[in-house]
């Protein structure tokens, strides 16, 4: 497992069999970043992150509350927020997620569409 972070939060978390594969994935994801190993000793904040991750992966803690540094399009953020809203243990298909996102989008855009179609 490899975790990448900025001063704002975690930006990369991946699993692979080889360290070299993880480094390559990180470089592909962030081609312009200055990548360096974390300095030691590790900060208390890092230890809190690791404990939260352990509790989530091993103990089944349903909510993983870590600071994240997410760079995404508006659509990707909508998907991310929707996925986070799915209760622990519930499974939704890609089709169900897509339908929910389309439904949310049409609800939020309906008033704007009505306003544009008014005749003055």
pTM: 0.64
Each residue's pLDDT tens digit, 36-62: 888 888 888 888 988 998 888 888 877
Torsion of CA 17, 20, 21, 26, to 10 degrees: 130
Looking at the structure of the chain, the number of domains it has is 2
CA-CA distance, 97 to 114, in Å (whole number)?
26
Each residue's pLDDT tens digit, 54-110: 888 888 877 788 898 988 899 999 998 898 888 878 999 999 999 999 886 655 544
Instruction: Assign residue 13 the CATH number of its domain.
Output: 3.30.160.70
> 22 and 80, same structural domain?
no
> 89 and 61, same structural domain?
no
> 52 and 7, same structural domain?
yes
Domain that holds residue 37: 1-69
């Amino acid at each position: 497992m490899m975790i990448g972070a900025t001063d704002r939060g975690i930006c990369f978390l991946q699993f692979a069999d080889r360290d070299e594969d993880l480094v390559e994935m990180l470089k592909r994801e962030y081609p312009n970043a200055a990548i360096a190993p974390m300095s030691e000793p590790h900060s208390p904040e890092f230890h809190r992150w690791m404990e939260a991750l352990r509790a989530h992966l091993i103990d089944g803690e349903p909510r993983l509350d870590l600071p994240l540094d997410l760079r995404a399009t508006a659509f990707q953020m909508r998907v991310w927020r929707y996925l986070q809203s799915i209760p622990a243990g519930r499974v939704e298909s890609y089709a169900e997620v897509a339908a929910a996102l389309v439904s949310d989008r049409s609800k939020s855009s309906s008033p704007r569409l009505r306003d544009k179609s008014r005749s003055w």
